[in-house]
Amino acid sequence: MTYRLLIGRLGEFGSTVMLECSTGFYLGVGHRTLRCLANGTWEGSDDPALCKIISCGELPTPPFGTKLGTLTTFGATAIFMCNHGYTLVGSHVRECGADGLWSGAETKCLAGHCDSPDPIVNGHISGDGSSYRDTVVYQCMLGYRLIGTSVRICQQDHRWSGTTPVCVPITCGHPGNPANGRTNGSEFNLNDVVNFTCNKGYILSGNARAQCRLNGQWSNPLPVCKVVNCSDPGHVENGVRQSGLHYPEIFSYGVTVVIHCKRGYYLLGSAILTCQHNGLWDRPTPRCLAISCGDPGVPPNAVVSGTHSWTYGSVLQYSCLPGEVLVGNSTRNCQEDGTWSGAPPYCTGASPGLCGDPGIPPHGTRLGGEEFKTKSLLRFSCEAGYNLIGSAER
């Protein structure tokens, strides 16, 4: 027994102590606290509480077994054994603790040969028999599959047949990547989902997603990534198309087409077209337009005959009014570079004060009227996309 000071200094008048017991003992009936009186005695010392050893009570002997040990107080142990043909279930050795309880689990002797079957992680066992020829069945939780034998039998040698199976996650494995595409996802177990995408310039044909099923198979096969095709850009009038493709031409992503114009025509737009990943050409189809030399005008007192289209290959014929003589070339041709051949002719004896028609440059316009007398003013401008070279006013 020990003392614990509650009030004052030990041994002085008015001090109070509490009686305490060692581990495994408890205070019985009587005074548990003592107080120092003025006469030098302890109040309550005539009937102090005493420490008594803790008892855990009698442990019964299990049927079909024996128990070694008769004590039931703190620190006492009991050892259990089962008769031949019976299996001990629970604790083989139990000890009386300071809390008044026996350690371990209740001991039983069951008629059987085998111990409890080994547990299985992520699964459960059906069947609770352990006698000779009793069976247990192992099953896995949802999302897992059994590796090993699902049924085990209690044998005559007190062992369960076979080995303990294991439950492993159901997995479908990586489904692979579609050609010219990829699989997105890092988990491939039951109910996991992967998504399929195609590389730039390819379009998905098939299912874009798949889910891992209970049978370990993906719900959908791998899709196919088909190359994107552009529509036929067509043939340009008065032009020649070159693609380097064999017949029949298929204009897939990345294919380029080159357009050339025939002689006498010029290209308006881009000469190279490229099929893009969205199935559209990167530029609009160009056009081949006839080369024009423009209106060359009419010299004073001259007459111009021939075609009036002023395009490549056109021929103009010059002559003078009666009484005039033509000086220079009598014909002029529209050339491939967009200019007229030779210099403009003129007629001798021209009326003073007349300059004649100066013409209109190709892709240009003229303002100022149709009179070409002295002090007449003409203004020239170009179409959008063209720059004026020369005088803007004459």
Q: Is residue 367 part of a domain?
A: yes
Mean local confidence (pLDDT), 127-137: 86
Q: Is residue 60 part of a domain?
A: no
Residue recorded with tokens 């001991």:
107
C-alpha span between 89 and 147 (Å, rounded):
28
The answer to whether residue 343 scores a pLDDT higher than 70 is yes
In our burial notation (b when 16+ CB lie closer than 10 A, e otherwise), range 142-175 reads: eebbbeeeeebebeeeeebeeeebbbebbebeeb
Mean local confidence (pLDDT), 345-357: 70
Q: Assess whether 351 and 387 both reside in one domain.
A: yes
Q: Is residue 84 part of a domain?
A: yes
Q: Is residue 232 part of a domain?
A: no
20 alpha-carbon distance from chain centroid: 69
- Predicted TM-score of the model (pTM): 0.48
The answer to whether residue 47 scores a pLDDT higher than 70 is yes
C-alpha span between 162 and 154 (Å, rounded):
10
Mean local confidence (pLDDT), 39-66: 88
The answer to whether residue 53 scores a pLDDT higher than 70 is yes
Q: Assess whether 268 and 337 both reside in one domain.
A: no
Query: Degrees (nearest 5) of the Cα angle 111, 117, 122?
Result: 150
The answer to whether residue 182 scores a pLDDT higher than 60 is yes
Q: pLDDT grade, residue 19 (50/70/90)?
A: confident
Q: Assess whether 279 and 300 both reside in one domain.
A: no
CATH of the domain at 40: 2.10.70
CATH of the domain at 78: 2.10.70.10
The answer to whether residue 151 scores a pLDDT higher than 90 is yes
Out of 3-17, 49-63, 350-364, the most confident range is: 49-63
> pLDDT: is 238 or 155 the higher one?
238
Chosen domain end from 271, 290, 309: 290
Q: Assess whether 269 and 299 both reside in one domain.
A: no
C-alpha span between 271 and 260 (Å, rounded):
7
Q: Assess whether 314 and 347 both reside in one domain.
A: yes
Asked if residue 78 lies in contact with residue 68, where contact means CB atoms within 8 angstroms, the answer is: yes
Residue 246 DSSP one-character state: P
Q: Assess whether 313 and 279 both reside in one domain.
A: no
Q: Assess whether 280 and 378 both reside in one domain.
A: no
Instruction: Give the range of the structural domain holding residue 211, as residue numbers without chain letter.
Output: 181-227
Q: Is residue 116 part of a domain?
A: no
The answer to whether residue 57 scores a pLDDT higher than 80 is yes
pLDDT per residue as tens digits for the range 213-262: 988 999 999 999 999 999 999 999 999 999 888 888 999 999 999 999 99
C-alpha span between 78 and 50 (Å, rounded):
27
Question: What pLDDT score was predicted for residue 204?
Answer: 95
Number of domains in the chain: 6
Q: Is residue 282 part of a domain?
A: yes
Asked if residue 319 lies in contact with residue 303, where contact means CB atoms within 8 angstroms, the answer is: yes
Looking at every residue in the chain, the average pLDDT score rounds to 88
Q: Is residue 234 part of a domain?
A: no
Q: Assess whether 301 and 394 both reside in one domain.
A: yes
Q: For 22-31, 93-102, 143-152, which range has the lowest pLDDT when averaged over its residues?
A: 22-31
Question: What pLDDT score was predicted for residue 356?
Answer: 66
Q: For 9-13, 214-218, 265-269, 323-327, which range has the lowest pLDDT when averaged over its residues?
A: 9-13
Q: Assess whether 320 and 379 both reside in one domain.
A: yes
Question: What pLDDT score was predicted for residue 9?
Answer: 82
Q: Assess whether 255 and 329 both reside in one domain.
A: no
Q: Is residue 174 part of a domain?
A: no
Q: Assess whether 272 and 296 both reside in one domain.
A: no
Q: Assess whether 132 and 223 both reside in one domain.
A: no
